[in-house]
Structure formats: structure tokens, C-alpha cells
A and B are shown apart, each in its own frame.
Chain A
Amino acid sequence: MAERPSPLKAQDKLAFLLSLVPFLMEHERISVQDAADHFGVTPQQVRDAVELIAVSGIPGETGQYQHGDLFDLAWDDFEENDQIVLTNLVAIDDAPRFSGREAAALIAGLQYLSALPENADRTAIATLMAKLARGASGPPSQFAVGGSESDGTLALIRESVASGLQLEFDYVNSRGEHERRRVDPLRIESMDADWYLRGWCHLREAVRTFRIDRIGNPRVTTAPITTHAADVQLSDALFEGSENDLVVTIDVAPAAASLLADYLTDGARSTIVDGRTRTTLRVSHYHGLKRLVGGLPGMVTVVEPADARQAVAEWAAAGAAQYDSTAHSTTGAAH
């Protein structure tokens, strides 16, 4: 078993070979560059695959891989002009089916995306899912994602971009202050059940990330968008740390560790203290920390600094105090 080569890599390459052949059959002549662009791979990956295809084939009558049993290529065109022209074809006539798991992954992905305005046409989506299931060689594996309703804010963000007009909305900043923000939407991102808008914020004059479910009273303005997605290189990280971030030491129960992964400081060292992981995380303000810790009761404890502990304790105490009075007397706002 130890000699087993990484099967994933080889399987990807096999999928590429089996998909490239019918693609090249459709395109009698195509440049290496165009094929690479289409598949999103490097030209060298295309060249390697084409060279392999060109010497492959079937054992044939003789079991000897005779000339006619192999694919063939217009080698001069390939070597001199970087053009691909297959001159002999064997065994493969058509594109392969999806595996049951591949179909299931796509179907579940579509279910997950059901909140997008592009997915508003449920009949079209159902048709697409049925096609995927029919195009699979086995029954789609039994996993799925529950759909969500179309989100009005997402539709409005899309409208803002389509019409080239800035979006405006209420937002509570990381310090808990209410602001009206004007934003040029750049990209919608999501992580599991949480959806985010990344956009150019005219108030901050910088790229900012907004939680969609914190956006209040959105509307499309009449002011034109000035920053477009093509103008900005968005980093992969949703939240970028700033030098003003506060670093907090916490103890985390093993079960909650993965839930906090996004907040941990880069290269944070962790030690085990009484069965819990002691590590550090970054927060821009205690306003966010107290909500984070409050939402993971019993699983996260702030160790230091002392004022962070105090912020969390006061937040929770204010919450608990409401329950000591009658059910209908509310305490004041907590800011």
C-alpha cells in the first residue's frame, strides 16, 4: 500500500484526459493556449496531456498497439505552431458521465446557492438538478443542503451592480456604532450559513467586508459606482487583521476550536491547559469579542487581558439581569 501514488492527482489527470479528447474532437483545430484558457490549466499541462493522448490507444487485434490502434496528431502543427489537430481517434466517442458523487456535489452546491437572485427560477434549477442526476453514472450520493429563501438584500446588491449605482445601507460598525454606509459592491462571499458583501466603502475609502444579515434598510442610490471589481485585487481572506487589532488570550474547548479558526492570530501558539486549548485571537474591538464568546457559552473563556474578561462578564451579566425582573421590562440598550 505504501507504494500507492497519490490517487487524487492521477484521477484529476485522468478526468482531464477523458474530457480533453471529446473537446478536441469538437474543435478540429485549436491552439494550445485556447485549450488551456478554456480548461483553466497551463499550456504545458495541455501539451503534456496531448502528447500522452497521441501515443495512447488500445491493444487491438494483435495486442501490440499497432499504428492504427493509437490516437494520432498532426505533429508538425503541434510542435511548430502549438496547434492541436487529432488525426486518428480510438475508443472515445463522447464526453464521460459524472460520477454519482460529482453529481451530488453539484446538486448540493445548487441547493446551497438557492438564496442567490440568479437562482430565483426554481423550476429551472429543478430541471438542472434532474439533468445532473440523469447525467451521472450512479445514483447521486445521499447528501444535500437545505435550501434557503431568496434574499432581498442579495437581489438589491445585484441590482446595484447591474445598474452601476452605489448601494446605501445602515450598518453597525465593529465598535457598535450605527452608520449609514455607501458602497460599491465588488463581490458576494459566503462561509457556510453566513453571507458577506465585499465592497468599496465611500465612508472609509477602503475595501470593507459587511455581513449581509447586518445590513439594514438597503437601497440603490442615484450616485454612480466609481470602483469596480476589476479595479481591486481582493485578498482571499475575508477579514484582514489591522495593526490596531487587540490580541486576546483564550481557553477553548476542543469542540469549539474549529469554530474560532478564522479569528486566531496567524501562527498562534497553543498549549493545552486542563484539557482546553489556550491560544490567542485577534479582535478589532471588544464589541465583537463579547458577542463571539457569548455565543459559545461554556466553550470559550477569555484569560486575558483583564479588561477583555470584564467586557465579556459585563455583557453577559447585563443579559442575565433582564431575567431577574419581570418578563416585559427591558433593560436599556447596551452600547
Chain B
Amino acid sequence: MPAESVSRIPVEERLFSLVLALLATETGLTKNEVLSTVQGYRQRYSAGGDNANLERQFERDKDDIRDLGVPLETVDSPGQAGNNQNLRYRIPRGSYELPSDITFSAEETTLLNLAAMVWREGSLSGESRRAVIKLKGLGLVADEPVLGYAPRIRVRDASFEPLRAALERNAVVRFAYLKPGEAEAGVREVAPLALVQHQGRWHLHALEPGTEVTKTFLLRRIVSQVTTTGSTFPAPSGDQTARALTELDDVWEAHTADVEVVTDSDASTRLLKRRGTVRLPSGALRLHYSDANIFADELAGYGPEALVLSPPALREAVRSRLLGIVAEHTHHDGAAEGSSHG
């Protein structure tokens, strides 16, 4: 067994050699040609023997390379369409290389580096790190910014990554979703179309399979693991993210609340800075929101600094939250307890 020599060829050398070999071929290489000649495979290739392990290695390597944005394609051998053993693999230069007219100015490079920094934590950090490596490869040098920035998005919803993976594969997903006001989560089965962050929260825009009905789900209300059902759906056409964001903006525009705030309070400073807030002649603020339950949570945090005038449902939602907090913090609940009764 040539196992010892194998371990000495690092993974990146095998992947790099595979990319070079497939870039250099016009007609493509068959799997057998790859396994028997390319560095990192050939050392483990057994002529006429069983190469099942090596074939599996090649399958995984293809996925890893494609993940990187390398367009590895399969072509039928001339006159042998459908013959799996004679499929040929290649990387067409035109789809591999960055078009030569795409260049970035120093200003643009600064912005792109900042944009990549946004994802330095979490599931997209690998993508943005590799995007920056590729930008550097273009020899670009960023402007020294006037003011330092350290922007960051943290995707804290456990469902984000499985949904994103399902979205790329057009896979139907299943999850338990807890609607506010309902005691039990209901199981949903949907075709994911887009993941969008709106007003700081991640939403899934999805299609009910077999219908034209799209729905938007808040990721933070997904209370189970996200699983795929095994079925797929036809890739939607058009920019689904733009559609999803427009719909969310429409909802935001349509919902307003009038809230009285204490002058110079934290509530007054911060609520006035929310997008779209206007001060009414009475001094109250007219605020936009997309989800009454989430907005009620936010307003409850302001305690006596904010008083909802309308709509009545939001008024009641904030009031009942505040009463709930009072109850939770004045009743004995078996825990270590002090004297908090007034």
C-alpha cells in the first residue's frame, strides 16, 4: 500500500494540481486519466486494481473545488454520450478567469475589504476570507480610510446555515415554526427562495410547494432543526432577495404606531432615530414597524419612557408585557428571593 507516500502530499497540493491539470486540457480528462496521472492521485493509483477510495476522494475534491467558484465541468466523450466511465472533466478558461475588464479602484477595494469584514464571524467568514484573498491576488491596494471601521454581522440563528445550504440546492425544507400567541409550534414545509436581513433580523422568503403563495418567516421563530425533505423544486427566476426586501419594506411602511415619549429620555433619542420616524404636532412620534410582537418587546424595554397611543392592539401588547415582567419579578417562584413587594 502506498499509504505512506500519500500522507506526504498535502491536500492543497492535490487540489492545486487538479485545477492546473483540468485548466490545461482542452478536451478534458477522463476520471481514469485524472487518477492515474495527476499529482496526489497517481501516487495512490493502482493500475487494474480497485480504486474505489481514490474515486471517492476525487468526488469530494470536485465538490471542494467547485465550492471555491472554480467551474469544473463534465463533458461527454465524442460519440460516447451517456457512458459514465468516459465522462471527461475540464475547467473552461473563460468561465474560470475573472473577465479582464473587471477592475476595482482603490476606493472600491476599501469598500470591498470592509464588506468582507462584516462576515468575519460565523458561517460566511470562510467565503469572505477567500474573496479577500482573490481581491489581493489582483494586486489591489486599498485606500487608507479616514476613520477605522469594524463592522460585523453575527448570524445567531441556528437555522441560517442549513437554510442557506438548502437554498443553493433548491431543496424543500421542513421546520417547526412558533407563531406568536400560539402555544405550539406548527411544522412547515416550504421551498426556500431567499434569506434576507431586514431591520437587523433574518427572514426566510419561501414558497409553499405546489402553490404560488410566498410566505416570510422570521428565523428566530424557527424552533426546530431545519431538515430537507428530499424533494427539490425548480430554481426560481429573478432576484428573489429584492422581492423579499420589497415586501418587507411594504409591511414596514404599512404599519405605524403613535407613541408618546418622555422628553430627552433614551426612548425619545433612540426612537426618533429609527428609520422613517416623524414627530407629530402633538409631540408624539409616529413609528414604523414590521412585526407587532417584536416591536412590543422593544417598546416594553423603555418602561415608563414610552406610551403607545395607537394602535390599540400594540397598546395592549406592550401593557401586558409590562404586567408580565412585574409579575415575574414580584412573585416568589421558589428561587432565591428577596423582598420586592411594594
Contact = CB atoms under 8 A, between A and B. Distances in A.
Contact of A213 (B24, B270, B336): B270
B144 to A, nearest CB: 11
A222 interface: no
B188 to A, nearest CB: 17
A145 B112 contact: no
Contacts, number: 423
B146 A96 contact: no
A220 interface: no
Contacts of B16: 14, 17-18, 52-53, 56
Nearest to A194: B200
Given A95-B138, A98-B131, A291-B303, A110 B119 contact: no
Contacts of A316: 300, 303, 322-323, 325-326, 329
Q: What size tier do the contact residues of chain A reach?
A: 35 or more
A13 to B, nearest CB: 4
Interface string B54-70: 00000010001101111
Contacts of B208: none
B147 A19 contact: no
B183 interface: no
B240 interface: yes
Nearest to A49: B12
A135 interface: yes
Given A59-B38, A106-B128, 20 more contacts: A40-B136, A59-B39, A63-B37, A91-B24, A97-B98, A105-B116, A105-B128, A137-B70, A141-B164, A141-B168, A143-B241, A144-B244, A172-B266, A187-B148, A190-B151, A291-B303, A297-B296, A312-B329, A316-B322, A323-B319
B13 A56 contact: yes
Interface in B297-313: 297-298, 300-307, 309
Interface of B: 10-13, 15-17, 19-21, 23-24, 33, 36-39, 42, 60, 64-65, 67-71, 93, 95-100, 102, 104, 107-108, 110-112, 114-119, 124, 126-131, 133-134, 136-139, 141, 145-154, 156, 164, 167-168, 193-201, 220, 223, 240-242, 244-245, 248-249, 260, 262-266, 269-270, 273, 275, 296-298, 300-307, 309, 315, 318-319, 321-326, 328-330, 333, 335-340, 342
Given A118-B111, A309-B338, A162 B146 contact: yes
10 contacts: A7-B60, A23-B138, A56-B20, A57-B17, A101-B69, A113-B118, A137-B69, A143-B195, A146-B248, A333-B304
Nearest to B158: A258
A12 B151 contact: no
A293 interface: yes
Contacts of A323: 307, 315, 318-319, 322
A116 B115 CA distance: 11
A318 B322 CA distance: 9
B133 A112 contact: no
Contacts of B33: 63
Contact of B11 (A5, A216, A298, A307): A5
A303 B331 CA distance: 11
Contacts of B328: 298, 301
Contact of B194 (A101, A113, A144): A144
A27 interface: yes
A14 B19 contact: yes
B325 A313 contact: yes
A12 B126 contact: yes
A30 to B, nearest CB: 10
Interface centre among A27, A93, A145 (most CB of B within 10 A): A145
Nearest to B38: A59
Contacts of B19: 14, 18, 91
- What are the 3 closest A-B residue pairs judged by CB atoms, nearest first? A306-B338, A193-B200, A99-B69
A112 B12 contact: no
Contact of B119 (A5, A57, A105, A306): A105
Nearest to A149: B275
A248 B16 CA distance: 54
B269 A137 contact: no
Contacts of B131: 98, 102-103, 105-106
B138 to A, nearest CB: 5
A249 B335 CA distance: 11
A7 B96 CA distance: 21
A281 interface: no
Given A17-B16, A22-B137, A306 B340 contact: yes
Interface string A247-281: 00101000100110100000000000100000000
